Amino acid sequence: MTDSNDGPMQAAQRLMRPDFPKRFYKLAEAARGEDGGFTVLLDGRPVRTPAKNVLSVPSEDLARALAEEWNAQESVIDPAAMPLTRLVNSALDGVAREANAVRDEIVKYAGSDLLCYRAEGPERLVALQGDSWDPVLAWARDTLGARFVLAEGVVFAAQPQEALDAVRRPIEDIDIFRLAAASAVTTLTGSALLALALLCGRLRADEAWAAAHVDEDWNIEQWGADEEAAVRRDLRCREMAAAVRVMELLR
């Protein structure tokens, strides 16, 4: 039912709003689970994922952070306001079954990594890319043993198989939650190398975010910000912050 004072646009927007489930619990709290991990209890009952798996994580700190998200919900439960919970759900319902495919996808991103494609100009943009990206490439070379080929413009540059194998090694044996977080950062930034630098503690979240947006920030500096693009960027920032927090809480 729509408000009689609504105009056509307002009525349409009201109808398009998702029907979030009402908050049905008084208290969310972290607790030791039956499997030895940690879960979130809603009035004493464990949270389950959309696939009906018990939400269980290896860190009490992460479970507490998840409980904070559940407690922060007010009259309804809005998944968009629960990025940590969504990421953990993804790990338990998806990554747990397809871990090798997730690793393969991260390595595939490394094959055309953002950090390897440089602008031909102007000079200031070239310098900004070098300042942000060269230290990460040097870290990948010196620490991971991954030597990448750089290219100018959009011409594809094939990467050595040895470099791609080196990218895979740090994610080969990590838990599904950090793997899900690394996958999320890779997708959000277009760079497996930035994801690995975060995972290994080489970069802070703000440094990785700035490195991923060198080109975008340059364009904003030249032409100004677009309102819709700014909204999308804010949503991506929240998703990345959640992924980095998972990495930090499980490091």
pLDDT digits (tens, 9 = 90+) for 105-134: 999 999 999 999 999 999 999 999 999 999
Q: Specify the residue for token string 């340059």.
A: 218
% of residues, the chain, pLDDT over 90:
88
Q: Specify the residue for token string 């090798």.
A: 100
Measured CA to CA, the distance from residue 148 to residue 178 in angstroms comes to 24
pLDDT recorded at residue 4: 45
H/E run at residue 29? strand 28-32
Mean pLDDT of 9-35: 77
Q: Is pLDDT above 80 for 189?
A: yes
- Phi (first) and psi of residue 117, to 5 degrees: -110, 110
Per DSSP bridges, beta strands 38-42 and 28-32 are antiparallel
Joined tokens for residue 190: 């277009």
pLDDT recorded at residue 3: 47
Mean pLDDT of 2-15: 47
What's the pLDDT tens digit per position in 157-181? 999 999 999 999 999 999 999 999 9
Mean pLDDT of 31-39: 93
Which domains are assigned to the chain? Answer: 8-95 (3.30.2180.10), 99-250 (1.10.3580.10)
Other CB atoms within a 10 A radius of the CB of residue 122 amount to 10
What's the pLDDT tens digit per position in 89-104? 999 999 999 999 999 9
What's the pLDDT tens digit per position in 206-244? 999 999 999 999 999 999 988 999 999 999 999 999 999
Cβ atoms of 80 and 66 within 8 Å: the answer is: no
Measured CA to CA, the distance from residue 95 to residue 180 in angstroms comes to 6
Q: How much is the pTM?
A: 0.90
% of residues, the chain, pLDDT over 70:
93
Cβ atoms of 59 and 250 within 8 Å: the answer is: yes
Other CB atoms within a 10 A radius of the CB of residue 164 amount to 17
pLDDT recorded at residue 17: 52
pLDDT band at residue 6 under the 50/70/90 scheme: low
The residue among 7 and 177 whose pLDDT is bigger is: 177
Q: Which of 148, 190, 200 is nearest to 169 (CA)?
A: 200
Q: Which of 192, 172, 173 is nearest to 182 (CA)?
A: 192
